[in-house]
Amino acid sequence: MNDAASSLLKVLSAFTSPKAAIKYICVALFILFSWSYVSTEVTSMHGPEQYVELISLFLGLGLGTLTGEAIYFLLHWIWEYGRLRYERSASEAIQKAASDAELIRQRDKESIFVQNFIKAYAHFSSFKVRVLDGLADEEVQWGEWHEEVVFMRDARYIIPVVRVTDESCIYSLNPLLRDFVKSKSIPYSEEPLEEALK
């Protein structure tokens, strides 16, 4: 293969890179511009005529390369900025969908918990109903040894708020159940609830 063909193949293979293609296009445009306009300016400045074409060529190569690099850098920056924005928005959409799904799952779980409580409430002893009614309006201190308290705590119907002693806590009604218990509340004229649990 002769030198001209191998040179042509090298130039053509360089166009496979976007960066090189942009550079070559800019260099070609600037060489065309410099031969058309710059050579007449160099001649009018009384420069040596034998170097006018060489000066135009170097000027076209230099300015074309710099312009090609600047254009490539700008396009690359715009591309990366757009890609990062797209990835960020896609990531945020995925996170939002996951948090929405988790929220729906949590609401379903709470709904099932309340529905199961409503089913069980009809079968509670009058003592359990009275304990829950008492907790609908205030927090109460009970010993952890009481069987009914242990059951309701383990079933998450009542929640320990703060430990008072080694054997007792202040309890509160689970907020998910408060509205239902208040709607079913029956006034009692018996002994105070704290006394009944001692």
Residue 42 CA, chain-centre distance (Å), reads 59
Domain limits, the chain: 3-103, 126-196
**How crowded is residue 160: how many other Cβ atoms within 10 Å of its Cβ?**
16
Cβ-contact 131, 181 below 8 angstroms: no
Q: What is the pLDDT of residues 49-92, one digit of tens each?
A: 777 777 777 777 888 888 888 888 998 999 999 999 999 999 99
Q: How far is CA 38 from CA 28, 33, 158, in A?
A: 14, 7, 90
Model's pTM, two decimal places? 0.49
Backbone φ, ψ for residue 170 (5° rounding): -95, 130
Which of the four pLDDT bands, split at 50, 70 and 90, describes residue 188?
low
Can you say whether residue 185 is alpha, beta or left, with left for phi > 0 and alpha for psi between -120 and 50 degrees? beta
- If pLDDT is split at 50, 70 and 90, which confidence band does 1 have? low
Residue with tokens 């009944």: 196
